[in-house]
Amino acid sequence: MFGSNMLEVAIGVIFVFILVSIICTAVREGIESWLKTRAAYLEHGIRQLLADNAGTGLAKNLYNHPLVFGLFTEGYKPGKTSGPPALFAKGGNLPSYIPSKNFALAIMDIAARGPLTNDVNSDPNTPVISLDILRQNVANLGSPTVQRLLINAIDSAQGDLNKAQANIEDWYNSGMDRVSGWYKRSTQIIIFSVALLISIGLNVNTLTIADYLTKNETAREMLVKKAEAINKQGLPDTQTYDSAKAELNSLGLPIGWAQLNSNADANSLVGIFFGGIIGWLLTALAASLGAPFWFDTLNKVMVIRSTVKPHEKSLEEASEDRQAPVNKVQVATPDTTTPVVTTPVVAFPAIQPAVVATPTISQGQQPSVADDDTEVDGCDVEATDKTNDEDLPPTRGGVV
């Protein structure tokens, strides 16, 4: 398991990734505000959705409708008709976003009253749009593909005009999901390119930074404190390029080319350049994931660190497995510092064994084996009146 030091190094590197990602996102937004590439992708997606690749039919009528025309200035100019827009395509004066409600109402109005805006379809006495009027005038769309889709939306609405409008909005939103996918992929490529240029230009080498934090405890603790602060406050909604770059420069990390000796020879410069390719690529790949991704990662690493740090400071707990007690004889060690109190010994009189008198045997008498109970059981009395066996009465009962 990683120790707290390794986790602190990871926190410091992630904090650098967040700042670099903010810088790259700010650069990307600056490019977008200048080129308006999002508008170019939206216009291309609408032409694909309305089956008008040239932009001379229904797509043109949609952009010229008052519900959409009010979102941008000047007139409608279709984009490139061959293939998807380029990475740095220019959207011109077109809108970068069209609400789904405006799109659906514009399609329904074109179908019911025609594409042109004149005195006839602008008259207040014009019939109110209904499902029957939409079905009768669906040919005004001028696109068989969209006409069939509108009829399907009317049929599935079951007589509810609002439901038909919602069906058209769902169709538009699903088409815009595909356009968002195109734009996100192009943005990923642009951000990676920008991140690679910034990594090389500012010399933000992931490997060098990680090695520096491993050896420098002071810098590591300072980055951890900054990361804890941003983790509590949350990722800032708006942070400019200048503020993020100033924060990055204030960290005191080995970033930039100032540490290189101006008198370094060409061989050392070449070695530094090719040695930093992996670190620059890692920084660029990390920055292309975006600041929100690394902020979520920082939260998870902070949680892991909060569990690892107390564990390293505390001792290992004993096992809770119950074992059978082992009887051990403990020998007390005498304490030589405490005076020993001696108890006087009381002498008791010795117990003398009882003396048993031994009977004397006269000459001519047989010695008899007798114990203490001899006189009691009468074993030593000689029998004088004896009865022979044949004189005994016969037995009765029992076993013969």
- With a cut of 70, say whether residue 125 has pLDDT above it: yes
Backbone angles phi, psi at 249, to 5 degrees: -70, -25
Give the pLDDT confidence of 272-289 residue by residue, as tens digits: 666 678 889 999 999 999
Average pLDDT for residues 178-206, to the nearest whole number? 92
Could you tell me the end-to-end alpha-carbon distance of the chain, in angstroms, rounded to an integer? Answer: 97
Q: Which residue has the higher pLDDT, 238 or 317?
A: 238
Average pLDDT for residues 299-304, to the nearest whole number? 89
Q: For residues 63 and 76, is the Cβ–Cβ distance under 8 A?
A: yes
Q: At what angle do helices 206-215 and 277-288 cross, to 10 degrees?
A: 100
Dihedral of CA atoms 334, 337, 339, 345 in degrees, nearest 10, equals: 10
- With a cut of 50, say whether residue 77 has pLDDT above it: yes
- Which stretch of 65-69, 208-212, 238-242 has the lowest confidence by average pLDDT? 238-242
Q: Up-side HSE of residue 147: CA atoms within 13 Å toward CB?
A: 11
Which of 143, 99, 134 has its CA nearest to residue 113?
134
| Degrees to nearest 5, angle at CA 58 with 55 and 61 | 90
CA distance 316 to 141: 77
- Which stretch of 2-11, 212-221, 326-335 has the lowest confidence by average pLDDT? 326-335
- With a cut of 50, say whether residue 38 has pLDDT above it: yes
Q: Which residue has the higher pLDDT, 251 or 335?
A: 251
Dihedral of CA atoms 306, 307, 312, 315 in degrees, nearest 10, equals: 130
- How many helices and strands in the chain, by DSSP H and E? 15, 0
Q: Which residue has the higher pLDDT, 373 or 213?
A: 213
Q: Which residue has the higher pLDDT, 81 or 105?
A: 105
Average pLDDT for residues 49-62, to the nearest whole number? 92
- With a cut of 60, say whether residue 312 has pLDDT above it: no
- With a cut of 90, say whether residue 124 has pLDDT above it: no
Local structure of residue 162 (DSSP, 8 states): H
Token output for 317:
């707990």
CA distance 63 to 55: 10
Q: Which residue has the higher pLDDT, 126 or 363?
A: 126
Enumerate residues 6+ apart whose C-beta is below 8 A from 54.
47, 78, 81
Residue 268 pLDDT? 52
Q: Up-side HSE of residue 385: CA atoms within 13 Å toward CB?
A: 0
Average pLDDT for residues 376-395, to the nearest whole number? 59
Residue identified by tokens 């602008």 is 122
Residue 348 pLDDT? 44
Average pLDDT for residues 48-71, to the nearest whole number? 92
Q: For residues 27 and 291, is the Cβ–Cβ distance under 8 A?
A: no
Q: At what angle do helices 4-35 and 206-215 cross, to 10 degrees?
A: 150
Where are the strands (E) in 87-191, listed by range?
Answer: none
Average pLDDT for residues 21-40, to the nearest whole number? 91
Q: Which residue has the higher pLDDT, 355 or 286?
A: 286
Q: What is the pTM of this model?
A: 0.67
Q: Up-side HSE of residue 316: CA atoms within 13 Å toward CB?
A: 2
CA distance 161 to 105: 11
Backbone angles phi, psi at 33, to 5 degrees: -65, -25
Q: For residues 94 and 40, is the Cβ–Cβ distance under 8 A?
A: yes
- With a cut of 60, say whether residue 151 has pLDDT above it: yes
Residue 257 pLDDT? 79
CA distance 94 to 76: 7
- With a cut of 90, say whether residue 163 has pLDDT above it: yes
Q: Which residue has the higher pLDDT, 275 or 8?
A: 8
Q: Which residue has the higher pLDDT, 310 or 117?
A: 117
Q: For residues 209 and 16, is the Cβ–Cβ distance under 8 A?
A: yes
Q: Which residue has the higher pLDDT, 320 or 289?
A: 289
Residue 396 pLDDT? 58
CA distance 209 to 305: 20
Q: For residues 290 and 25, is the Cβ–Cβ distance under 8 A?
A: yes
- With a cut of 70, say whether residue 3 has pLDDT above it: no
Residue 381 pLDDT? 55
CA distance 276 to 208: 8
Residue 305 pLDDT? 82
Local structure of residue 289 (DSSP, 8 states): T
